[in-house]
């Protein structure tokens, strides 16, 4: 049986299970490092399919590894399953309506991300066994991607050290082999402690921690003019010290996320922001404490694996949709702003131009065709903890259409589409692409050697150094 037929058969045979599991995870949206139900449903299913599962790896309760086979090559599939806070939304409606005020929701499609990666691991295993090929198929259950950098913590503990390559994907508004570099980041909390007092009768006795936060933010705003264009600084005041204006706030806290194209550059910005915080503490005579929450590395592309995945994607082709699917996606589009649609159109146009092609006319509400692949440099001004895996072993990703064109991630529109039939189509499509990519390199181990050689060139002899210091533990949201 051909690679295409074998993978398609494996996925088709368990299609109903995969859709059910993804929707079960959608129904139980759990925040970073608290994904008890989501993690367990995937781990249990993999056990039922003959994988050996090790739970609680890297000292993270919801992280696990599921393996089948022995020896090399070791092919890793990366799965996520965490949700986002304050994105509760009823499914299948084209208006914003929370199921639970302040509740969680799957606004980045991780209910499908982990499920599809699991499906591809099972299909790749089936193909390996069917053709009596040597190797190990491993699925990693990776918690806390949203603001937690779970994979970076896992990388620090060495759980990816023996893999030969990694494969993953992300739900998106179009289908393409991932062609992006990403930004490294540091997420750090700055807490100021001052002296509370009556703001009217004895203000001279107070030392305002909130003033320190505000002065720090002003300093960071001035810093923005003196960093490279690729840098990003974001912040959120997580503790204002209370709601009473006639009290000098004795405690206040601000959380910073600092990004740039490499760990070294993001780290340099962090050092400058620390100096600003120290200056704010000095100006206000407050005490500063710094809590390092997490960090992640920039994504390192691998053209060899990208070309393998592109070949498989072109063999599989794009997606088609029913009239009902297109009608609902159109309703979602009507809830979007013209700027949101235009931003997505610019992404498509840029991808075609970098591939030396002219973009076609708009496909409408759902983008079924595949976007052309290009080796051209493309910087995504965001971050992913997949970057740390890519700094350890050759890594490749794909995107698959799961949402109406123009949908932005981390929105109610993403959540409401999470249980649609067209989202499920995209999920299964990605599983086919990833599994065939694994099968292709199992058939041709020389490609793994070529990918490793490219990886070594790009690394330039540098060993992976985890940007999260020892002693820092994963941070939950509650």
Distance of alpha carbon 209 from alpha carbon 200, whole angstroms: 17
Domains in the chain and their CATH numbers?
3-181+298-459 (3.40.630.10), 184-296 (3.30.70.360)
Q: What is the mean pLDDT of each run of 10 residues along the chain (478 residues)?
A: 95 98 98 97 98 98 97 97 97 97 97 98 98 97 96 98 98 97 97 97 97 98 96 96 95 98 97 98 98 97 98 96 97 96 93 92 89 93 96 98 97 98 98 98 97 97 95 84
Distance of alpha carbon 176 from alpha carbon 427, whole angstroms: 13
Whole-number pLDDT of residue 475: 86
Contact of 402 with 426, CB cutoff 8 Å? yes
Distance of alpha carbon 114 from alpha carbon 418, whole angstroms: 13
Both tokens of residue 98? Answer: 């929370």
Q: Does residue 73 have a cis bond before it (omega within 30 degrees)? A: yes
Considering the entire predicted model, what is its pTM? Answer: 0.95
Integer Rg of the chain from CA? 23
Contact of 79 with 139, CB cutoff 8 Å? yes
Whole-number pLDDT of residue 408: 97
Whole-number pLDDT of residue 478: 56
Whole-number pLDDT of residue 87: 97
């Amino acid at each position: 049986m051909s690679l295409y037929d074998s993978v398609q058969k494996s996925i088709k045979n368990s299609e109903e299970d995969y859709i059910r599991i993804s929707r079960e995870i959608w129904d139980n949206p759990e925040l970073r490092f608290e994904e008890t139900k989501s993690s367990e449903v995937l781990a249990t299913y993999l056990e039922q399919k003959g994988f050996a599962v090790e739970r609680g790896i890297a000292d993270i309760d919801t992280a696990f590894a599921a393996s089948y086979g022995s020896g090399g090559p070791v092919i890793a599939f990366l799965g996520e399953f965490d949700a986002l806070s304050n994105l509760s939304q009823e499914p299948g409606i084209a208006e914003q309506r929370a199921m639970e005020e302040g509740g969680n929701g799957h606004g980045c499609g991780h209910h499908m991300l982990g499920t599809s990666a699991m499906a591809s691991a099972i299909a790749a295993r089936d193909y390996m066994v069917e053709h009596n090929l040597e190797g190990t198929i491993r699925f990693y259950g990776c918690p806390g991607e949203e603001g937690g950098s779970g994979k970076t913590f896992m990388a620090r503990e060495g759980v990816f050290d023996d893999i030969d390559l990694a494969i993953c994907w992300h739900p998106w508004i179009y289908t393409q082999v991932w062609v992006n570099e990403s930004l490294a980041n540091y997420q750090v909390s700055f807490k100021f402690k001052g002296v509370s007092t009556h703001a009217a009768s004895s203000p001279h006795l107070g030392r305002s921690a909130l003033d320190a936060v505000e002065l720090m933010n002003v300093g960071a705003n001035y810093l923005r003019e003196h960093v490279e264009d690729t840098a990003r600084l974001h912040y959120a005041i997580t503790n204002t010290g209370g709601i009473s204006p006639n009290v000098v706030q004795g405690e206040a806290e601000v959380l910073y996320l600092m990004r740039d194209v490499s760990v070294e550059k993001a780290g340099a910005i962090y050092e400058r922001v620390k100096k600003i915080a120290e200056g704010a503490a000095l100006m206000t005579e407050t005490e500063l404490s710094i809590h390092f929450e997490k960090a992640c590395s920039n994504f390192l592309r691998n053209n060899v694996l990208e070309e393998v995945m592109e070949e498989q994607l072109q063999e599989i082709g794009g997606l088609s949709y029913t009239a009902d699917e297109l009608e609902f996606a159109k309703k979602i589009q009507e809830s979007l702003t013209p700027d949101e649609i235009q931003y997505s159109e610019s992404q498509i146009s840029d991808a075609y131009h970098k591939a030396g092609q002219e973009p076609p006319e708009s496909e409408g509400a759902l983008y079924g065709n595949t976007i052309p692949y290009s080796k051209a440099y493309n910087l995504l001004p965001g971050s992913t903890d997949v970057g740390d895996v890519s700094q350890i072993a050759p890594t490749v990703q794909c995107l698959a259409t799961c949402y109406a064109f123009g949908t932005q991630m981390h929105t109610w529109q993403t959540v409401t589409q999470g249980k649609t039939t067209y989202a499920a189509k995209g999920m299964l499509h990605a599983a086919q692409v990833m599994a065939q990519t694994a099968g292709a390199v199992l058939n041709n181990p020389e490609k793994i050697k070529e990918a490793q050689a490219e990886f070594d060139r790009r690394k330039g002899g540098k060993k992976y150094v985890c940007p999260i210091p020892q002693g820092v533990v994963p941070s939950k949201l509650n």
